[in-house]
Amino acid sequence: MKKSLLCVVLLLPGFLLLSKATIKFKATAVDFGEIDSGKVVEVNFEFENSGDTLLKIKNVVPSCGCTTSILDKKEYLPGEKGTIPAKFNTTGYSGKVIKSINVLTDDPGNADVLLRITGNVMLREYPQAEIKPDKISFGNVKVGKSQSRKITLLNSGSLDLKIIEISCAPEISVVLHAKTVSPRKAVDLEIIFTPFDPGLFNTLAKIRTNDSRIPYVFVRIDAEVK
């Protein structure tokens, strides 16, 4: 009798060591195919606790703010099934996208499971910025004497083009006649150059717009200052 009791006591720690929670996903990657930009993709990652103790999901961490995941519950009994829901906002995206979610659990073999959401985002309507000309040469200019040239910002897209920011050298100033350009319309910008020092002058004026595909257009400016 004592020997039998001793065997049970000796076997019990080994049994406890073998007991564990095990998270098993039906698939760790979901491809949503093609979708128009601006829509929200909703996917579900199905899983099961195939272990023999309670499974605890500690946290779910999306790779960026455009992807969210909120759990209904965090504990699953042996054999119980569940889902990791995820939403991906496609606004501002185009082309092939890959987003990820890290699922942190108390499964010693899968403490950090990486889930992936992939697909193609189709950008069918968008603003499109074009600048003409994209190079200005002021030629020979005297120090302190201002000169100006006009350039044209064209919106060849299907949505309003908005000028967000213009960055340029101190010698350059840009006069806007409008900050929004309607589809298939254009607006003139005046480039004013006032040189400070003699010598060769070469710089870029950078115009940032809401064209998500090409957010910056550049104008190269040069002169010979005397």
- pLDDT tens for the chain, 226 residues long, are 445 444 444 444 544 456 789 999 999 999 999 998 889 999 999 999 999 999 999 999 998 888 888 888 999 999 999 999 999 999 878 889 999 999 999 999 999 999 999 999 987 788 999 999 999 999 999 999 999 999 999 999 888 999 999 999 999 999 988 899 999 999 999 999 999 999 999 999 999 999 888 899 999 999 999 9
Quick one: 129-225 is in which CATH superfamily?
Immunoglobulins (2.60.40.10)
How many beta carbons lie within 10 A of that of residue 33, not counting itself?
8
Degrees to nearest 5, angle at CA 53 with 48 and 55 = 50
Return d(Cα 226, Cα 195) in angstroms, integer. Answer: 9
For residue 51, list its beta bridge partners. Answer: none
Please state, in angstroms and as integers, the Cα–Cα distance from residue 187 to each residue in 17, 124, 129, 156, 207, following that order.
73, 24, 11, 12, 13
Distance of CA 215 to the CA centre of its chain: 14
Quick one: 20-122 is in which CATH superfamily?
Immunoglobulins (2.60.40.10)
Q: Looking at residue 24, what DSSP letter applies? A: E
What's the whole-model pTM score? 0.58
Domain positions in the chain are: 20-122, 129-225
